[in-house]
């Protein structure tokens, strides 16, 4: 087997990553739909299991690609006269990586963390409480108990209602996507850091990579506007 054919196969494997990402994206949206329509908690939890299954596939695929890449790089580096049994070499490296697996790997998957975070925010926005905690439902905080029309949907930059809110994973504040992106790009050209525009926030280095779509907040805004 030529190394070129291995590189080609590796490229195909990387395409599989996009299918997993798409599946996790769809599962997240389905779960948010279920929360928004106040479906049974069991239905929402089933989507969490789906996300964990995707996370497991994601981990396995990444381990296999790592095993292939390390094997190819090793052969290119050592340049043996006869190419060894690639299948066995890859299998050994893959098995070694898989042997270190733990449940915490899946729980710390970036897209799974986003899924959990958005579910939490969604339940907060729609005053929905999971009875998964086996505890009496605590009194909802005043900032959550207010009606949706009184909730703060205003961007701290534009001072207008947000249409495409993104949340900063570091400080938790939300902004209109276009507005914060423009600030980041301008500051980047000036070689300066971006301070969080939210008054009172001490976070002084907002990065584009720290911003994630706040689907839960967007749905809450859309829901209020429909009324």
Does the pLDDT at position 134 exceed 60?
Answer: no
Domain shared by 98 and 41, yes or no: yes
Structural domain of residue 28, as residue ranges?
A: 3-126
Query: Is residue 132 included in any domain, yes or no?
Result: no
Q: Which of 68, 101, 126 is the last residue of a domain?
A: 126
pLDDT value at residue 147: 45
Q: Which of 38-52, 58-72, 127-141 has the highest mean pLDDT?
A: 58-72
- Per residue in 140-163, pLDDT (tens digit) is 444 444 444 445 799 999 999 999
Q: Tell me if 115 is assigned to some domain.
A: yes
User: What pLDDT does 39 receive?
Assistant: 72
24 within a domain of the structure (yes/no): yes
Task: Tell me the average pLDDT across 49-73.
Answer: 93
Helix residue ranges per DSSP H, the chain: 3-36, 41-78, 86-98, 103-107, 110-125, 142-145, 177-189, 215-226
Do residue 96 and residue 191 come from a single domain? no
Domain stops at, among 126, 141, 173: 126
As a whole number, the mean pLDDT across the chain is 85
Q: What is the DSSP string of 124-159?
A: HHTT---GGG-SPPPPPPHHHHS-GGGS--B-TTT-
Q: Sorting pLDDT into bands at 50, 70 and 90, what band is 2?
A: low
Q: Domain total for the chain?
A: 2
Question: pLDDT grade, residue 223 (50/70/90)?
Answer: confident
- Pick from 2-6, 10-14, 33-37, 58-62 the range whose average pLDDT is largest: 58-62
The pTM (predicted TM-score) of the whole model is: 0.75
91 and 37 fall within a common domain: yes
């Amino acid at each position: 087997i030529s190394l070129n054919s291995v590189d080609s196969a590796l490229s195909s494997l990387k395409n599989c990553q996009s299918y997993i990402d798409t599946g996790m994206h769809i599962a997240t949206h389905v779960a948010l739909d279920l929360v928004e329509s106040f479906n049974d908690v069991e239905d929402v939890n089933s989507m969490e299991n789906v996300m964990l299954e995707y996370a497991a596939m994601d981990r396995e695929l990444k381990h296999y690609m790592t095993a292939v890449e390390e094997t190819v790089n090793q052969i290119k580096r050592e340049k043996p006269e006869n190419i060894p049994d690639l299948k066995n070499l890859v299998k050994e490296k893959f098995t070694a990586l898989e042997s270190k697996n733990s449940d915490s790997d899946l729980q710390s998957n970036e897209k799974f963390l986003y899924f959990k975070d958005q579910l939490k925010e969604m339940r907060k926005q729609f005053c929905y409480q999971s009875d998964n905690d086996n505890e009496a439902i605590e009194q909802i905080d005043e900032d959550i108990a207010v009606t949706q029309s009184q909730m703060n949907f205003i961007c701290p930059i534009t001072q207008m209602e947000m249409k495409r809110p993104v949340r900063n994973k570091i400080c938790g504040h939300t902004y209109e996507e276009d507005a914060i992106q423009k600030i980041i790009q301008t500051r980047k050209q000036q070689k300066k850091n971006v301070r969080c525009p939210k008054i009172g926030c001490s976070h002084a280095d907002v990065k584009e990579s720290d911003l994630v779509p706040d689907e839960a907040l967007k749905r809450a805004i859309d829901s209020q506007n429909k009324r």
